[in-house]
């Protein structure tokens, strides 16, 4: 099964879904919803020692996918009934997927906007809020100690604009966006495509030339400094992705993927600026949800989901 090992780094693992075996804790109560059918999930830790960094995923994930020191929590957008159960109660469960959303929240949004937003629109709006630099700076102290709280605007048009930007971000982070073709970076130079182990052997970033050298003669370019330094949670994405492939030869698919990652991060930075321009308006008047509203389950942590991933 494909598994998100680190940001933009999808690998493969043998997943049984059993409580013990190849994986120490496969978390089937959560991860089965990512395997049962089409789905997308929000991944983020509850507490942050590093920079706040949520990420969208459409696969199962490892427990350090976006956090070097903290534990991931998976929030699937859709829940699927457990088709493996054979008890009496399973007969009464719906066979189709259902949104993993609090009905009170959905009803409050429908009342404010005059229509019920789709689960995807709500997911995308949340994603846009979490990628607003203004939001992160304003609430950084709270984001370090607990799950984020989402301010839902009362303005239907603002909601729609934010959701549209969130949809663009999700597509970029799943590497499915049409904006990635053609990618903005190229792979150049003569050599065997092997990633050097250290700087002395050629692995380095040249800020002036905007090049990421994987060895002394081959590099990806252009890679602006802001993209090279871009972090998602505990990882500097462009550096981490290559470091995990040191002393290995990049194949054509990996070269294409890295060029798309660079492009996705560059587009992300641009979209964040657009979100920041509208986010203050979203916070001007917000819908009161009440403190009694709690997240639906499962919103379980994926701790040790992939102890022995490939």
pLDDT tens per residue across span 180-229: 999 999 999 999 999 999 999 999 999 999 999 999 999 999 999 999 99
- The torsion angles phi and psi of 236, rounded to 5 degrees, stand at -85, 105
pLDDT at 267: 98
pLDDT tens per residue across span 142-152: 988 889 999 99
Instruction: Determine the average pLDDT of the residues in 89-113.
Output: 82
Q: What is the mean pLDDT of the chain?
A: 87
Contacts by 175-179, CB closer than 8 A, 24 or more apart: 175/8, 175/257, 175/260, 175/261, 175/264, 177/264, 177/267, 179/263, 179/267
pLDDT at 28: 83
Distance CA 275, CA 278 (A): 5
Instruction: Determine the average pLDDT of the residues in 42-53.
Output: 83
Lowest mean pLDDT segment, chosen from 37-51, 159-173, 230-244: 37-51
Question: Can you count the helices (H) and strands (E) in the chain?
Answer: 9, 14
More confident residue, 279 or 292: 279
Length of the chain: 310
Lowest mean pLDDT segment, chosen from 39-43, 92-96, 105-109, 240-244: 92-96
Predicted TM-score (pTM) of this structure? 0.88
CA dihedral 117, 118, 121, 123 (to 10 degrees): 120
């Amino acid at each position: 099964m494909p598994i998100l090992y680190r940001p933009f780094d999808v690998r493969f693992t043998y997943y049984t879904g059993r409580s013990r075996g190849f994986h120490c804790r496969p978390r089937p109560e959560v991860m089965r919803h990512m395997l049962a059918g089409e789905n997308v999930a929000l991944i983020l830790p509850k507490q942050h020692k590093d920079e706040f960094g949520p990420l969208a995923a459409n696969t199962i994930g490892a427990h350090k996918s976006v956090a070097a020191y903290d534990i991931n929590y998976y929030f699937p957008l859709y829940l699927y009934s457990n088709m493996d159960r054979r008890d009496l109660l399973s007969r009464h469960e719906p066979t189709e997927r259902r949104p993993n959303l609090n009905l009170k929240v959905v009803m409050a949004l429908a009342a404010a906007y005059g229509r019920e937003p789709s689960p995807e629109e709500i997911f995308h709006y949340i994603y846009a809020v979490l990628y607003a630099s203004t939001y992160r700076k304003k609430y950084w102290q709270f984001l370090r100690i607990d799950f984020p709280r989402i301010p839902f605007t009362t303005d239907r048009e603002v909601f729609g604009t934010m959701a549209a930007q969130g949809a663009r971000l999700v597509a970029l982070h799943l590497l499915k966006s049409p904006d990635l073709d053609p990618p903005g970076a190229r792979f150049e130079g003569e050599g065997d495509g092997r990633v050097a182990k250290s700087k002395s052997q050629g692995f380095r970033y040249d800020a002036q030339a905007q090049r990421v050298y994987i060895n002394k003669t081959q590099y990806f370019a252009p890679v602006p400094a802001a993209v090279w330094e871009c972090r998602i949670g505990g990882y500097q994405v462009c550096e981490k992705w290559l470091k995990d492939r040191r002393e290995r030869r990049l194949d054509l698919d990996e070269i294409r993927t890295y060029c798309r990652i660079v492009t996705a991060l560059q587009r992300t930075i641009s979209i964040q600026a657009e979100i920041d321009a509208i986010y203050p308006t979203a916070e001007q008047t917000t819908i009161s949800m009440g403190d009694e509203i709690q997240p639906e389950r499962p919103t379980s942590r994926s701790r040790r989901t992939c102890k022995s991933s490939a």
